[in-house]
């Protein structure tokens, strides 16, 4: 089944047809923090997922279940309303519509840093040597998922009863692969109707990798509690279907992506996520210049994560300077590495390795007037980011493995200069499967990767224009609102606000 590309739409006008939507995700769409007076305040999240899904939840009177980013001593401490000046999409999400899941700090740590980030993250990115398998982490994952499931059931119970309405529960990502089945069981026992959907934001690995997880069957059973299981691309769907057949012995239909389990048929669908395209275009139009150099900029923007291929990328850049001295003093690699999961050792080690490698390459090539690498370890504002994306000659997106990779999409959205730059993308990212006009670069082959960067730097203008036009057109059509709409449509739950008002 090919992903269905169509017209972009505005999720402000989209509501779930047959009832409201409960979103369940590890993180709430904002984090709670204490201000200097000790009062809780919301800090909004700017992610594309939040932008697209929040309006659907808010418009339909739904709820959001998630971890608030802080451990509260008093679990009954009220969630604050949003700041009156808040203009982000979650501003309209009233505190009564938010369920902040509270989990014992130790259990949360072992669930999040242990099972999620030290087991599932490396395993699902096909890096089993980096994964740890500990019974204690798995037990914490079970406890945490039970807590999320119980909170979701309470949320479901709190909804006004209307026999014509079937609420839609949308569970997100690898943190919550067990929760759906428990939600279904409890809803069945209590005779509460609901539809359940799941979306995995990271890759789903092939069977020979997935089976390394000692409790693989339980994961599949958890996900099969849903009516629909969505992944970014067809390969991940086929891997999942294959695992269900080989691990659980389910009857499957590979052509139509169906899995039979427990007397039900579960639909599996490729639903490639997009970005809020127009928002990035607007940011790029307004952002002042932040790069003051005449050198051509090669740009990398990533969470500091070993899946992103950053070490390979720096080595490919070093090779380029070695093999193509004509670029010396004419180009510069801007690498923005956003700190992430800093409590996990693999991430601490990567930071050390990157610091040393940047130092070594700069030490080797820097002259009185030029340094080849500018390395930012930290966060940049959305405005600055848009300016970097807009003014870069080359966008370098070379993960070793990546579910989709939104940086590739944000880069093309912001490429409004004429003539534009060039996107380089790894075939091992979901984006590499779908952004056909990008230059494809195998990050593992350092020599080859350096030649692809050279090709991008020397690409004729007309070819750059042609490729970028196609890339931008596709991302504009298949933006994040289109993704939300596709999910609702695959759930059989799509209706516009006008239709909803007519029925209501």
Positions marked active-site: 201, 402
How far apart are the C-alpha atoms of 91 and 51, rounded to whole Å? Answer: 11
Secondary structure E strands in 292-430: 296-303, 331-338, 373-377, 394-397, 422-425
Residues of span 28-47 touching ligand G6P by CB under 6 A: none
Q: Which is nearer to ligand G6P, 173 or 479 (CB)?
A: 173
Q: Does 410 bind ligand G6P (CB under 6 A)?
A: no
Q: Does 340 bind ligand G6P (CB under 6 A)?
A: yes
Q: Which is nearer to ligand G6P, 164 or 342 (CB)?
A: 342
Q: Does 24 bind ligand G6P (CB under 6 A)?
A: no
Binding mask 292-331 for ligand G6P (x = CB under 6 A): ----------------------------------------
Does residue 329 contact residue 369 with C-beta atoms inside 8 Å?
A: yes
How far apart are the C-alpha atoms of 290 and 440, rounded to whole Å? Answer: 28
Does residue 124 contact residue 117 with C-beta atoms inside 8 Å?
A: no
Single out the residue of 289, 365, 284 nearest to residue 331, CA to CA.
365
Q: Which is nearer to ligand G6P, 202 or 320 (CB)?
A: 202
Least Å distance, CB 192 to ligand G6P, is 27
How far apart are the C-alpha atoms of 364 and 362, rounded to whole Å? Answer: 5
Select from 28, 98, 115, 173 the one that contacts ligand G6P (CB under 6 A). 173
How far apart are the C-alpha atoms of 248 and 404, rounded to whole Å? Answer: 27
Q: Which is nearer to ligand G6P, 201 or 319 (CB)?
A: 201
Phi, psi angle pair for 303, to nearest 5°: -65, 145
Q: Which is nearer to ligand G6P, 173 or 227 (CB)?
A: 173
Q: Which is nearer to ligand G6P, 264 or 345 (CB)?
A: 345
Least Å distance, CB 350 to ligand G6P, is 15
Least Å distance, CB 483 to ligand G6P, is 14
Single out the residue of 396, 405, 500 nearest to residue 454, CA to CA.
396
Q: Which is nearer to ligand G6P, 27 or 143 (CB)?
A: 27
Single out the residue of 503, 428, 502, 495 nearest to residue 13, CA to CA.
495
Three-state SS string across 300-330, please?
A: EEEECCHHHCHHHHHHHHHHHHHHCHHHCCC
How far apart are the C-alpha atoms of 116 and 20, rounded to whole Å? Answer: 29
- Structure token pair of residue 258: 């169906």
Select from 184, 195, 201, 312 the one that contacts ligand G6P (CB under 6 A). 201
Least Å distance, CB 404 to ligand G6P, is 9
Least Å distance, CB 294 to ligand G6P, is 35
Select from 16, 63, 202, 392 the one that contacts ligand G6P (CB under 6 A). 202
Expressed in angstroms, the distance from the first to the final Cα of the chain is 35
Least Å distance, CB 124 to ligand G6P, is 10
Least Å distance, CB 70 to ligand G6P, is 14
Q: Which is nearer to ligand G6P, 231 or 317 (CB)?
A: 231
Least Å distance, CB 379 to ligand G6P, is 12
Q: Does 27 bind ligand G6P (CB under 6 A)?
A: yes
| Positive or negative torsion for Cα 421, 426, 431, 436 | positive
Q: Pairing state of beta strands 394-397 and 422-425?
A: parallel
Does residue 273 contact residue 244 with C-beta atoms inside 8 Å?
A: no
Give the single-character DSSP code of 128. G
Q: Does 475 bind ligand G6P (CB under 6 A)?
A: no
Distances (CA, A) of 313 to 66, 318, 332: 35, 9, 13
Q: Which residue is nearest to ligand G6P (CB)?
A: 201
Q: Which is nearer to ligand G6P, 27 or 254 (CB)?
A: 27
Per DSSP, the chain holds a count of helices (H) and strands (E) of: 18, 19
How far apart are the C-alpha atoms of 29 and 89, rounded to whole Å? Answer: 9
Phi, psi angle pair for 51, to nearest 5°: -60, -40
- Structure token pair of residue 304: 């500091």
Least Å distance, CB 348 to ligand G6P, is 15
Q: Does 113 bind ligand G6P (CB under 6 A)?
A: no
How many residues line the site for ligand G6P (CB under 6 A)? Answer: 6
Task: Report the 10 Å Cβ neighbour count for 410.
Answer: 26
Q: Does 341 bind ligand G6P (CB under 6 A)?
A: yes
Q: How many residues does the chain have?
A: 504
H helix intervals, 110-178: 121-124, 135-158
Residues of span 277-296 touching ligand G6P by CB under 6 A: none
Give the footprint of ligand G6P on this chain (CB under 6 A). Answer: 27, 173, 201-202, 340-341
């Amino acid at each position: 089944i090919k992903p269905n590309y169509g017209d972009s739409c505005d999720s402000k006008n989209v509501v779930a047809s047959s009832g409201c939507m409960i979103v369940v995700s590890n993180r709430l769409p904002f984090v709670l923090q204490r201000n200097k007076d000790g009062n809780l305040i919301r800090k909004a999240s700017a992610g594309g997922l939040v932008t697209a899904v929040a309006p659907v939840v808010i418009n339909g009177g739904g709820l959001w279940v998630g971890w608030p980013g802080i451990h509260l001593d008093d679990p009954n401490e009220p969630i604050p309303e949003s700041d009156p000046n808040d203009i982000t999409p979650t501003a309209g999400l009233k505190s009564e519509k938010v369920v902040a899941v509270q989990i014992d700090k130790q259990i949360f740590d072992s669930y999040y840093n242990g099972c999620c980030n030290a087991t599932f993250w490396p395993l699902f990115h096909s890096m089993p040597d980096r994964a740890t398998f500990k019974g204690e982490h798995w037990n914490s994952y079970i406890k945490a998922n039970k807590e999320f499931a119980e909170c979701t059931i309470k949320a479901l119970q709190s909804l006004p009863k209307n026999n014509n309405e079937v609420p839609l529960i949308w569970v997100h990502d690898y943190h919550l692969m067990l929760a759906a089945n428990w939600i279904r069981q409890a809803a069945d026992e209590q005779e509460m109707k609901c539809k359940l959907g799941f979306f995995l934001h990271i890759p789903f690995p092939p069977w020979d990798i997935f089976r390394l997880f000692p409790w693989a069957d339980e994961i599949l059973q958890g996900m099969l509690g849903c009516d629909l299981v969505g992944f970014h691309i067809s390969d991940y769907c086929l891997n999942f279907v294959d695992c269900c057949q080989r691990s659980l012995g389910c009857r499957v239909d590979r052509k139509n992506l169906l899995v039979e389990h427990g007397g039900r048929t579960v639909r599996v669908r490729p639903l490639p996520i997009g970005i809020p395209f127009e928002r990035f275009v607007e940011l790029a139009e307004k952002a002042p210049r932040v790069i003051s150099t005449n050198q051509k900029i090669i740009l990398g923007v990533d969470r500091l994560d070993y899946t992103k291929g950053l070490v390979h990328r720096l080595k490919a850049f070093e090779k380029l300077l070695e093999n193509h001295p004509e670029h010396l003093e004419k180009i510069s690699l801007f690498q923005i590495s956003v700190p992430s999961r800093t409590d996990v050792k693999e991430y601490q080690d990567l930071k050390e390795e990157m610091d040393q490698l940047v130092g070594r390459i700069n030490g080797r090539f820097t002259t009185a007037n030029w340094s080849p690498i500018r390395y930012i370890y930290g966060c940049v504002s959305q405005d600055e980011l848009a300016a970097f994306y807009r003014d870069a000659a080359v966008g370098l997106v070379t993960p070793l493995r990546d579910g989709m990779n939104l940086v590739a999409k944000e880069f093309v959205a912001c490429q409004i200069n004429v003539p534009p730059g060039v996107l380089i993308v790894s075939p091992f990212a979901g984006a590499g499967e779908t952004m056909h006009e990008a230059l494809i670069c195998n990050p593992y082959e350092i020599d080859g990767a350096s030649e692809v960067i050279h090709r991008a730097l020397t690409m004729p203008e007309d070819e750059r224009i042609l490729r970028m036009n196609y890339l931008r057109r596709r991302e504009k059509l298949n933006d994040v609102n289109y993704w939300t709409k596709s999910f609702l449509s695959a759930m059989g739950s799509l209706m516009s606000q006008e239709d909803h008002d007519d029925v209501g």
